[in-house]
A and B are shown apart, each in its own frame.
Chain A
Amino acid sequence: MSKRVVVDPITRIEGHLRVEVEVDENNVITKAWSGSTLWRGIETILKGRSPMDAGLLVQRICGVCTYSHYRCSIEAVEDALDLKIPENAKLLRSLMQSSLYMHDHVVHFYHLHALDWVDIVSALSADPAKAAQVAMKYSATPIAAGEGELRAVQERVQGLVNTGKLGPFANAYWGNGTYKFSPEQNLIAVSHYLKALEVQRKAAEMLAIFGGKQPHPQSLVVGGVSCVRDMLSPARLQEWKQKHAEVNDFINRAYLPDVLMAAEAYKEEPSVLGGVGVKNFMAAEDFYLGNGEYLFQPGVIMNGDLSDVQDVDLTLIEEDVTHSWYQDGAARHPYDGVTEPNYTGLIERDTVYGKLPTFDNDGKYSWVKSPRYAGEPVEVGPLSSLLVAYARGNKQVVGAVNGLLEATGLPVEALFTTLGRTASRLVQTMLVAENSLKTFDALVSNILVDESTYIEPVIDPNKEYKGVGVIEAPRGLLSHWIRIKGGKIENYQAVVPTTWNSGPVDANGKVGPFEQSLVGMKLEDPTKPLEIIRVIHSFDPCMACAVHVMDYKGQDLGQFQVAPNAC
């Protein structure tokens, strides 16, 4: 007899996500549904506004990958206006992009994902002296893993436990049998969790140097960047480089060793050996290094065939709404997206926690739409980016991926797992951190011959424009699509990484990456589904990003047009 498991809220993500699964009598997942439970209507709000304001507004889609939407939107407008921005602006945007990645991936691994792998309670029974020895196994010079430091961390955790009041660590799935670290390994990871709180702050400052603040930086404009004084200040440039060195040090001496440690401890854990069900992957070109060169290449891989990487054909992207809380209609290309909300509610049924409202999975069950490429679901994210570059023979990527496989003794197939997805994020972070120094050097050389940062855009109110920005966000390929008419935004759409990954089943019954990744996995205890959140977290969900709606069909836009001098 099958049982229904509901997980809501999925915590340690951005936004509101509900996952439901059905398990059989052996607690093996037979079906899974993922749905977002919040709709904000950002793209509806964009209509009638100035294209110059779009970047600032759509940035508020997300406060985590905040810079990604900002940049992607500005570049969509630049594409529409056919604007070629100065080299300095390209390089500065790339430096900000690298800074975001160094921040975002570290926060994801330690503060959002780590507690799925690390049992804090178990760290209490560790021997700090032994743990310090264990740390040396994964790094010759580990950070925050000396005996004294580890003992202090352990005492701190013990102090918390003694109070009987665990605060943010209360009532988690501690003691679950799928936690595989030894007490010593857990203690090392807890120490790095705390250290990472400090490091992530520095990483955020890196972006703020050229971005004004983080989250929600404010120094990009259509036509370039505004931070010309920061660019021309040797002190500012060095400030970035100094912080880069500190964060990079943590990445190499904590993040890398911790992933190696996880790969070793978890390499036979069934719940992390699957998790890549949809074997189609797509990635964008990104991370400008200067001189026309990029760190990662774009492409599409279908059916896991690494011998055949195709170029991305943007005309093949469509969004389906069959099982999303919008009025039905045929799948549409983003330039022509039409959507009206149509909430149909939850339905009551028996679950492992008793009677609860649950997804109407035969009907509609999510505010996320289902993007498809040539009719197929596709996974995007660091794993996809690396696979595409790897299959294209990118020397750095091939070297780094092979190096990781060698260090862990894992076969290539290990990439196509939950563990592989998490490890790919580390490899991407390391490559980005290392290569951003090339971008930095290119900027320093270029300033000597050219100080320009901006080219003024011109919008002809009598012309119609359309444009697209396609970049790689920390969670994968991101595209923003804009139509401009009469100098104002006529239509705007964002097709977002988490939309690709988390969308519900489509009209043809094709299942997306989140849902497919859970099927076949056995749960130790369906009332404490640690395995589910571990797999879902490996995608790094960002739900406010994923939910977006454009157009009220036929609605008179005049009634809410923004007229700047009307007040």
Chain B
Amino acid sequence: MGQYDALFSRGKKRLSELKKLNAVKSTPLMQRLESQGISRREFMTWSAQVTAMLSLPLSFSPLVAEAAEVADRVPLIWLHMAECTGCSESLIRCDTPSIDSVLFDHISVEYHETLMAAAGWQAEENLEHALEAYKGGYVLAVEGAIPTADNGHYLTVGCKGHTGTEIIHHAAEGAAAIVSVGTCAAFGGVQAAAPNPTEAKGVDQVVHKPVVNLGGCPPSEKNIVGTLMYFVMFGKLPPMDMYGRPKWAYGARVHDNCERRGRFDAGEFVEKFGDKGAKEGYCLYKVGCKGPYTYNNCPTERFNHHTSWPVLAGHGCIGCSEPNFWDAMADFEKPLGRRDIHSLDKTADFIGTAILGLSVVGLGAHAVAGVFAKDVEDK
């Protein structure tokens, strides 16, 4: 528990610093929640869920609750680059009974083009004001890749006609933390797939500052909000893997927690969509599932208030939280075969054998995952 003790006291310290700042909201959180028909008990349940989601011991739950109460002191600036707005759509699906009210009241959304009331010149004024007024203290969330070809002119935003690259450099300067929301901001995404005609890049390839990469097309609402919560609680970026993804969300292989894992180990596979195996819930590896090559918490957290995830809906994982997946993992409805996706990832070598149904292979995969995790410990 030593490491957790340190983390806990760090969180405590962080919160007491935040509390010294001027409160944005005049009424206390609980009073505001109660006016929304949310009880203390429901709020504590929510905190416990967030705690579990962040892979923290339950003893951290009060800290999460406390963090929610001061979260309004962290301004959020959310920029749209080359994107499809899917990540914003994911954000507004935030689940558990009260999360949209909590977000609405507690994170101060200073700039978000899909949600904000102001437009045009006035919207740009909001951005300039926020960058100046909260310099060094705001969280910068970016949705979408940065087109860099031909001086970046494949994207301009605002009356002044600034390019995406100019805006991102300017906004990154005073950010307390940068979160790349989704595979486009993290790794370039769909527009960076071959031949990448706009030379689209992930944010961390452009700004050279620490960035949290929330892989996923889109990332689940839980991974977005959970990451923001982490920053609010601890005032720093979460421990990350070699691709800058928070370990609490991306630390495990989709395959390892998959509800169909038992079928894989038993050698029971869907041969084609709609067949007997599909009706029985057999493993989707042979119809293209990329779960063995993909790190994310989809099987445990699912999407849309735990409603479903692609594998439950009978379609294989397409590996959307991995860098370069559009090229590296095509064809999406055919098995990848014996391939190394990551230099560290030798698990793929086991797959061919695994098809024979040897459960010992599963253990091998876990062992490799363990080594992987060790190699990229939090610095």
B161's contact among A45, A112, A343, A357, by CB below 8 Å, is which?
A: A357
User: Which chain A residues (190-213) contact chain B, with CB distance < 8 Å?
Assistant: 194, 197-198, 200-201, 204-205, 208-213
Q: Are B84 and A62 in contact (CB under 8 A)?
A: yes
Are A63 and B194 closer than 8 Å at their CB atoms? no
One of B87, B122, B274, B318 near A452 (C-beta < 8 A): B274
Which single residue of chain B is at the shortest CB-CB distance from A201? B93
Q: Which residues of B contact A155 (CB under 8 A)?
A: 35
Check if A44 is an interface residue, CB within 8 A of chain B: yes
Q: How many A-B residue pairs have CB under 8 A?
A: 323
Residues of B contacting A170 in the complex (Cβ-Cβ under 8 angstroms): 110, 116-118, 126
Q: Which of B117, B308, B318 contacts A169 (CB 8 A)?
A: B117
Does the CB pair A343–B153 fall under 8 Å? Answer: yes
Evaluate contact between B86 and A50: CB separation under 8 angstroms. Answer: no
Question: Max chain A CB contacts within 10 Å: which of B125, B154, B160, B200?
Answer: B154
- Asked whether, in the complex, the Cβ of B190 is within 8 Å of the Cβ of A219, the reply is no
Number of interface residues of A (CB under 8 A): 105
- Residue in chain A with minimal CB distance to B305: A205
Q: Is B236 an interface residue (CB 8 A)?
A: no
- The reply to whether A533 and B89 form a contact with Cβ atoms under 8 Å apart is no
Interface residues of A in 309-358 (CB under 8 A from B): 341, 343, 345-346, 351, 353, 356-357
Is B153 a contact of A345 with CB atoms below 8 Å? yes
In the bound complex, do residue A172 and residue B217 qualify as a contact, i.e. CB atoms below 8 Å apart? Answer: no
Q: How far is the CA of A60 from the CA of B318 in the complex (A)?
A: 13
Contact A229 B279 (CB under 8 A): yes
Contacts of A218 in B (CB 8 A): 310, 313, 315, 318
A129-145 residues with Cβ-Cβ distance < 8 A to B are: none
Residues from chain A with Cβ under 8 Å of B94 in the complex = 201
Chain A residue numbers with a CB within 8 Å of B190 are 40, 42, 45, 57, 60
B314 close to A159 (CB less than 8 A): no
A219 touches B310 (CB 8 A): yes
A443-464 interface bits toward B, Cβ cutoff 8 Å, 1 = contact, 0 = none: 0000000011110100000000
Is the C-beta of B3 less than 8 angstroms from some C-beta in chain A? no
Docked complex: A536-566 residues within 8 A CB-CB of B: 544, 552, 559-560, 562, 564-565
Q: Which residue of B lies closest to A230 (CB)?
A: B313
Q: Which residue on chain A has the smallest CB distance to residue B111?
A: A168
Chain B residues with Cβ under 8 A from A49's Cβ? Answer: 330
A64 touches B161 (CB 8 A): no
Q: Are B332 and A560 in contact (CB under 8 A)?
A: no
Complex: how many Å from CA A216 to CA B303? 11
Within 8 Å by CB of B304, from A198, A213, A221, A224, lies: A213
Q: In this assembly, does A282 line the interface, its C-beta being within 8 Å of a C-beta of chain B? A: no
Q: B313 touching A357 by the CB < 8 A rule? A: no
Residues of chain B contacted by A62 (CB below 8 angstroms):
84-86
Contact A565/B197 with A38-B82, A38-B155 known, Cβ cut-off 8 Å: no
| Interface flags, B329-352, vs A, CB<8A=1, else 0 | 011111011011100000000000
Residues in A neighbouring B360, C-beta threshold 8 A? none
Are the C-beta atoms of A45 and B191 separated by less than 8 Å? yes
Instruction: Tell me if B266 counts as interface (CB < 8 A to partner A).
Output: no
The reply on B165 being an interface residue by CB < 8 A is no
Q: Chain B's interface: helix, strand, loop or mixed, by majority?
A: loop
- Does residue A529 face the partner (Cβ distance < 8 Å to B)? yes
Q: Does A284 lie at the interface of the complex (its beta carbon under 8 Å from any beta carbon of B)?
A: no
Which residues between 181 and 224 of chain B lie within 8 Å of chain A, taking CB atoms?
Answer: 189-191, 193-198, 200, 217-218, 220
Most buried by A among B118, B158, B330: B118
B326 touches A171 (CB 8 A): no
**Residue A232 at the chain B interface, CB threshold 8 Å:** yes
Cβ 8 A contact of A226, one of B313, B336, B337: B313
For residue B331, which residues in chain A have a CB less than 8 angstroms away from its CB?
Answer: 50, 52-53, 564
Chain B CB within 8 A of A14 CB: yes
Cβ B278 vs Cβ A226 within 8 A: yes
Q: Which residues of A contact B158 (CB under 8 A)?
A: 8-9
- Find chain B residues with CB under 8 A from A395 CB: none
The answer to whether B154 and A208 have CB atoms under 8 Å apart is no
- Please tell me if A125 contacts chain B, counting CB pairs below 8 Å: no
Distance in angstroms from A343 CB to nearest chain B CB is 5
Contact of A60 among B113, B195, B217, B314 (CB under 8 A): B217
For window 265-302 of chain B, which residues contact chain A by CB distance below 8 Å?
272-274, 278-279, 281, 302
Interface string of B111-125 (1 = CB under 8 A from A): 011111111111111
B20 to chain A, nearest CB (A): 17
Stretch at the interface among B22-30, B45-53, B57-65: B22-30
Chain B positions within 8 Å of A8 at CB level: 120, 157-159, 161
Mask of B253-274 contacts with A, CB within 8 angstroms, 1/0? 0000000000000000000111
Inter-subunit contact B87/A163 (CB<8 Å): no
Given contacts A7-B119, A49-B330, contact A228 B109 (CB under 8 A): no
For this complex, 19 residue pairs linking A to B, each with C-beta atoms less than 8 Å apart, are: A11-B116, A12-B119, A14-B84, A38-B155, A39-B155, A50-B331, A63-B84, A63-B88, A63-B90, A107-B92, A111-B115, A163-B25, A171-B123, A172-B117, A205-B304, A226-B278, A456-B273, A527-B121, A544-B83
- B interface with A by C-beta (< 8 Å): 24-27, 32, 35-36, 80, 82-90, 92-95, 100-101, 104-105, 108-110, 112-126, 147, 150, 153-161, 189-191, 193-198, 200, 217-218, 220, 272-274, 278-279, 281, 302-305, 307-315, 318, 320, 326-328, 330-334, 336-337, 339-341
